[in-house]
């Protein structure tokens, strides 16, 4: 096994030595990423009660973990961007002085790994060795995080060989729960009252303390691939976005790639793996959560998925809503906070029409359908390897990325926003991204259902001043000729009728919207210009075989002048937060829509 003394990368060696001295772990383990290593960690976690092995016949090599009930989602109010100045972090991020925060963290981390093993996880975001990829090292005291990172990233010894003496993103993570000599561990150690997820964008480093859950602790994902990478992208002329990437093939066999940003738990995974209901049209998956995008020499925007697994929201995932996700997590998967069946398999709300009897809920208690609370936590998750997804795109690991023809912004809106519309040009599309306004979900702590502005679905993930991020989007539009830029669309699957029921069936039916987008890019799909953008006429959408309520389509495509004037007014008020950092072009775009609405 690798040892500190033999490390080639001197910066890494020095950092590990410093962390060992600060955190005082019992031992250090360099993760090699092997199956054997993962199996041995899983076995240890079963022994400790962290993992419950699932029925090996039904769900081979899979485990259930139950978190501490106080540690169930991303903690946005405890997430910090510690840039040199508050202004650089901007009004939408929590900022703290980097030196003071380092002091606080140093105190918290001192001795925090006593009685535990310190794991060093070398990982690559993006295909190993690709020029678009970046290497990170996560140090953690959580074996649960090691086995999750092994699924979510390319992790292990090979990464160190590629790193040589090059730079890497430092991520230090601790559950913040040292053990006294002889003290028995709990299944899910954490320290919710002291949790802090801290980013130092100039230093490109991450310190995460107190939580073991998802994006708080899998540091490659939100912390690195979005918060730190968005800042790297701004500095170096590329983009790190909260977007799925899919390939859409038409009946003639032509494929176009589309990237789409929706806030957390709004159906990115379902769209990325969608099974088309239209004969001849198919969808293949490149990624479900994060896209790194760069303009290539040919002037087109190319995207890679830096991850290698899915950390999907479990509730609502079913054979009907996402059959491909069900196959993806049928083996070699980790489930967190879902319910357990008596034959040691997993279940969550929406998985089957009938609720199986005798369930144990996510808290480990006997549960029945009359219980006021769901059996699976609303933010329960599956962690599953991407290469198990039956519809992974053949180019998903192409180091060059895939060429993007369209970008989509979406959110959960019961009113106002039509099913789909197209931006008039790039800058108008950027405004559409700035204006994403969506009902909150369980992916983060806080009140579910409340409307909040979530520009580009990046509100919790932008590592610098969001006003400057808007400017970066505008700037990216100048890097190529307009004909080579992806077209930009807004979609909303969640509009409701007067009866408060969803008007659009969603899931596999969404391909009808993607088909219109494909045809628009080809110069064929018919559209009608409205003050907010180009909408399909009802006849331009393929609605064959779809039995919608009589007036549903009219309601889905309705653009109300009053609602939109109100929407722009709300957006302007929100944008005023950014003061001088708001690009003038964004205000001008608002004015143009207002004029068109009033004209
Ligand atoms: C996620 C999120 O886990 O956005 O992807 O919260
Ligand atoms: Mn996400």
Instruction: Tell which residue, 418, 73, 456, 72, has the closest CA to residue 263.
Output: 456
Per-residue pLDDT for 447 more than 80? no
Per-residue pLDDT for 1 more than 80? no
pLDDT tens for 70-95 read 999 999 999 999 999 999 999 999 99
User: Is 189 a pocket residue for ligand 1 (Cβ < 6 Å)?
Assistant: no
Strand 117-125 and strand 134-140: pairing? antiparallel
User: Is 264 a pocket residue for ligand 1 (Cβ < 6 Å)?
Assistant: yes
User: Is 443 a pocket residue for ligand 1 (Cβ < 6 Å)?
Assistant: yes
Q: Where residue 252 falls among pLDDT bands split at 50, 70, 90?
A: very high
Per-residue pLDDT for 115 more than 80? yes
Per-residue pLDDT for 443 more than 80? no
Instruction: Tell which residue, 558, 556, 519, 559, has the closest CA to residue 540.
Output: 519
Burial 448-471 (b: 16+ CB within 10 A, else e): eeeeebbbbbbbbbbbbbbbbbbb
Q: Which of 75, 148, 151, 214 to mutate to test the pocket of ligand 1 (most atoms within 8 A of CB)?
A: 214
pLDDT tens for 226-242 read 999 999 999 999 999 99
State the virtual CA torsion across 72, 74, 75, 79 in degrees, nearest 10. 150
Contact status, residue 467 vs residue 276, Cβ threshold 8 Å: no
* 165 Cα: distance to centroid of ligand 1 (angstroms): 32
Which domains does the chain carry? 4-30+73-236 (3.40.449.10), 240-305+396-598 (3.90.228.20), 310-388 (2.170.8.10)
How many Cβ atoms sit within 10 Å of the Cβ of residue 354? 6
User: Is 267 a pocket residue for ligand 1 (Cβ < 6 Å)?
Assistant: no
Residues of the chain above pLDDT 90, percent = 95
User: Is 349 a pocket residue for ligand 1 (Cβ < 6 Å)?
Assistant: no
Contact status, residue 471 vs residue 584, Cβ threshold 8 Å: no
Instruction: Tell which residue, 287, 158, 157, 306, has the closest CA to residue 220.
Output: 306
How many Cβ atoms sit within 10 Å of the Cβ of residue 194? 15
- Ligand 1 atom with least separation from CA of 313: 3
Tokens of 430: 């950027």
Strand 291-295 and strand 437-439: pairing? unpaired
Q: Supply angle C-alpha 220, 50, 290, rounded to 5.
A: 20
pLDDT tens for 162-204 read 999 999 999 999 999 999 999 999 999 999 999 999 999 999 9
Q: Where residue 157 falls among pLDDT bands split at 50, 70, 90?
A: very high
- Ligand 1 atom with least separation from CA of 444: 6
Q: For residue 574, which phi and psi values (nearest 5 degrees)? A: -60, -45
* 75 Cα: distance to centroid of ligand 2 (angstroms): 13
User: Is 311 a pocket residue for ligand 1 (Cβ < 6 Å)?
Assistant: yes
Considering every ligand atom, which ligand is closest to the CA of 440?
1
Instruction: Tell which residue, 7, 334, 292, has the closest CA to residue 147.
Output: 334
Q: Which residues pair with 437 in a beta bridge?
A: 453
Per-residue pLDDT for 4 more than 90? no
For atom 1 of ligand 1, the residue with the nearest CA is: 264
Considering every ligand atom, which ligand is closest to the CA of 460?
1
Tokens of 591: 């004015």
Instruction: Tell which residue, 275, 315, 289, 327, has the closest CA to residue 510.
Output: 275
Question: Ligand 2 (ion): which residues have CB within 5 A?
Answer: 264, 289
Tokens of 393: 């795109």
CA–CA gap between residue 353 and residue 369 (Å, rounded): 13
Contact status, residue 323 vs residue 275, Cβ threshold 8 Å: yes
Per-residue pLDDT for 143 more than 90? yes
Kindly list the strands in the beta sheet with 366-367, ordered across the sheet, starting from the edge strand earlier in the chain: 346-347, 339-340, 359-360, 366-367
pLDDT tens for 349-377 read 999 999 999 999 999 999 999 999 999 99
DSSP one-letter string for 156-179: SHHHHHHHTT---EEEEEE-S---
Q: Where residue 132 falls among pLDDT bands split at 50, 70, 90?
A: confident
Residues of the chain above pLDDT 70, percent = 100
Mean pLDDT for 549-555 is 91
Q: What is the set of active-site residues?
A: 266
Per-residue pLDDT for 549 more than 90? no
């Amino acid at each position: 096994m690798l040892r500190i003394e033999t490390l080639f990368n001197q910066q890494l060696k020095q950092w590990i030595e410093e962390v060992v001295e600060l955190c005082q772990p019992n031992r250090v383990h360099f993760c090699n990423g092997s199956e054997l290593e993962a199996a041995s960690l899983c076995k240890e976690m079963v022994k400790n009660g962290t993992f419950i092995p699932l029925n090996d016949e039904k769900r081979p090599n899979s485990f259930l973990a139950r978190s501490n009930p106080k540690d169930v989602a991303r903690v946005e109010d405890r997430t910090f961007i510690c840039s040199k100045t508050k202004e650089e972090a901007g009004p939408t991020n929590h900022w703290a002085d980097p030196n003071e925060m380092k002091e606080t963290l140093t105190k918290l981390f001192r001795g925090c790994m006593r009685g535990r093993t310190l794991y060093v996880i070398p990982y690559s975001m993006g295909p190993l060795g690709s020029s678009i990829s970046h290497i990170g090292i996560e140090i953690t005291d959580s074996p649960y995080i090691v086995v999750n990172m092994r699924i979510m990233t390319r992790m292990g010894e090979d990464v160190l060989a590629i790193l040589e003496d090059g730079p890497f993103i430092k991520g230090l993570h601790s559950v913040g729960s040292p053990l006294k000599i002889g003290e028995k561990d709990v299944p899910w150690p954490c320290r919710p009252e002291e949790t802090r997820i801290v980013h130092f964008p100039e230093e490109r480093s991450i310190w995460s303390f107190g939580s073991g859950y998802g994006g708080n602790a899998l540091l490659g994902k939100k912390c690195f691939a979005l918060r730190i990478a968005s800042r790297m992208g701004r500095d170096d002329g590329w983009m790190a976005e909260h977007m799925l990437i899919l390939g859409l093939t038409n009946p003639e066999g032509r494929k176009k790639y589309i990237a789409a940003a929706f806030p957390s738990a709004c159906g990115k995974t379902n769209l990325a793996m969608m099974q088309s209901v239209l004969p001849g049209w198919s969808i293949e998956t490149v990624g479900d959560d994060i896209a790194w995008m760069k303009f290539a020499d040919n002037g087109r925007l190319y995207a890679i998925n830096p991850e290698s697994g899915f950390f999907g929201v479990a509730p609502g995932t079913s054979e009907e809503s996402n059959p491909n996700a069900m196959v993806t997590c049928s083996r070699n998967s980790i489930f967190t906070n879902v319910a357990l069946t008596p034959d040691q398999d997993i279940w969550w709300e929406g998985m089957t029409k009938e609720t199986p009897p005798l369930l144990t809920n996510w808290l480990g208690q006997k549960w029945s359908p009359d219980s006021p609370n769901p059996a699976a936590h609303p933010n329960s998750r599956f962690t599953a390897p991407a290469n198990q997804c039956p519809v992974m795109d053949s180019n998903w690991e192409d180091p060059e990325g895939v060429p993007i023809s369209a970008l989509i912004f979406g959110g959960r809106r019961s009113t106002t926003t039509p099913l789909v519309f197209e931006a008039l040009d790039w800058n108008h599309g950027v405004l559409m991204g700035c204006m994403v306004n969506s009902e909150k979900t369980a992916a983060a702590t806080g009140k579910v259902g409340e409307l909040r502005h979530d520009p580009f679905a990046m509100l919790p993930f932008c590592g610098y001043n969001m006003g400057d991020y808007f400017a970066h989007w505008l700037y990216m539009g100048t890097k190529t000729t307009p004909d080579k830029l992806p077209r930009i669309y807004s979609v909303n699957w969640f509009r409701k009728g007067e009866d408060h029921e969803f008007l659009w069936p969603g899931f596999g039916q969404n391909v009808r919207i993607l088909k219109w987008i494909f045809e628009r890019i080809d110069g064929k799909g018919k559209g009608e210009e409205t003050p907010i953008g180009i909408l399909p006429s009802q006849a331009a959408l393929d609605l064959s075989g779809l039995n919608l309520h009589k007036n549903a389509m009219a309601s889905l495509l309705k653009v109300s002048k009053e609602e939109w004037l109100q929407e722009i007014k709300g957006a302007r008020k929100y944008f005023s937060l950014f003061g001088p950092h708001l690009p003038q072009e964004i205000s001008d775009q608002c004015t143009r829509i207002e004029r068109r609405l009033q004209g």
